[in-house]
Chains A and B, each alone.
Chain A
Amino acid sequence: MLVDVNCWLGHWPYRRLRDRTAEELVARLDYLGVTHALVSSIDSILYRNVQPANEDLAEALAPYGDRLFPVATINPNYAGWEDDLDAAAERLGARGVRLIPQYHGYDLDSPAAQRAAAACAERGLPVLVAHRIEDPRQRHHLDPGQTVGFGAAAALLRAVPNLQLIITNARGLFHSDFVRDPGLRDKAWYVDLSLAEVDYQLHRHPADRRDLGRALAYVGPAHLLFGTHLPFSYGAPALVKLETLELSEADRASIRFRTAARLFALPIP
Chain B
Amino acid sequence: MQACGKNTAVREPVDVAAALARPKIDMHAHVWPMQGEAVSSSHLIACGARLGITEFWCSAPITGGRLAPIEEVRAHNDVILRAMERHPGRIRGMAFLIPGQPGVIEEAERCLGRGMIGFKLYNQYKLHDPVVEPIIKLATERRVPVLVHAAYLPAPEHQRQQPLTSHGADFAVASEKYPDALLIHAHIGGGGDWEWTLRALRDASPNVYVDVSGSNLDAGQVEMAVAELGAKRVLFGTDGTMAGSVGKVLDADLTEEEQDLIFWRNAARLLAEQGLAPLNMPRGDAQCSST
Residues of A within 8 A of B (CB): 15-19, 24, 27-28, 30-33, 134-141, 145, 171, 194-195, 197-206, 209, 229-241, 243-244
B3 at the interface (CB under 8 A from A): no
Majority secondary structure, A binding face: loop
In the complex with contacts A200-B240, A230-B219, A141-B250 CB distance below 8 A: no
In the complex with contacts A139-B154, A141-B155, A200-B43, A134-B218 CB distance below 8 A: yes
> How far is the CB of A32 from the nearest CB of chain B, in Å?
6
Chain B 63-74 interface 0/1 with A at a Cβ cutoff of 8 Å (1 = within)? 000000000000
Q: Which of B27-35, B202-210, B277-285 contacts A (4 or more CB under 8 A)?
A: B27-35
Of A18, A202, A244, the residue contacting B50 (CB under 8 A) is: A244
Chain B 203-224 interface 0/1 with A at a Cβ cutoff of 8 Å (1 = within)? 0000000000001111110010
Contacts of A194 in B (CB 8 A): 217
- With contacts defined as CB atoms under 8 Å apart, how many contacts are there between chain A and chain B in the complex? 156
Q: Which of B80-88, B115-123, B190-198 contacts A (4 or more CB under 8 A)?
A: B190-198
> How far is the CB of A244 from the nearest CB of chain B, in Å?
5
A-B contacts, 17 of them at CB < 8 A, read A18-B219, A19-B219, A27-B9, A33-B13, A135-B191, A135-B218, A138-B191, A138-B192, A140-B154, A141-B155, A199-B242, A200-B243, A209-B39, A234-B244, A236-B248, A237-B246, A237-B251
Contacts of B158 in A (CB 8 A): 137
The answer to whether B35 and A206 touch across the interface, beta carbons within 8 angstroms, is: yes
Residues of B within 8 A of A (CB): 8-9, 11, 13-14, 16-17, 20, 30, 32, 34-36, 39-40, 43-44, 47-48, 50-51, 151, 153-155, 158, 191-195, 215-220, 223, 238-244, 246-248, 250-253
User: Considering only CB atoms, which chain B residue lies closest to A242 in the complex?
Assistant: B16
Of A140, A201, A234, A239, the residue contacting B217 (CB under 8 A) is: A234
Q: Which 6 pairs of residues, A with B, have the shortest CB-CB distance?
A: A202-B240, A237-B247, A137-B191, A206-B36, A236-B251, A236-B247
The answer to whether A240 and B215 touch across the interface, beta carbons within 8 angstroms, is: no
Q: A145 vs B8: C-alpha distance in the bound complex, in angstroms?
A: 30
The answer to whether B246 and A203 touch across the interface, beta carbons within 8 angstroms, is: no
In the complex with contacts A195-B217, A244-B20, A31-B252 CB distance below 8 A: no
The answer to whether B239 and A240 touch across the interface, beta carbons within 8 angstroms, is: no
User: Considering only CB atoms, which chain B residue lies closest to A169 in the complex?
Assistant: B217
The answer to whether A32 and B14 touch across the interface, beta carbons within 8 angstroms, is: yes
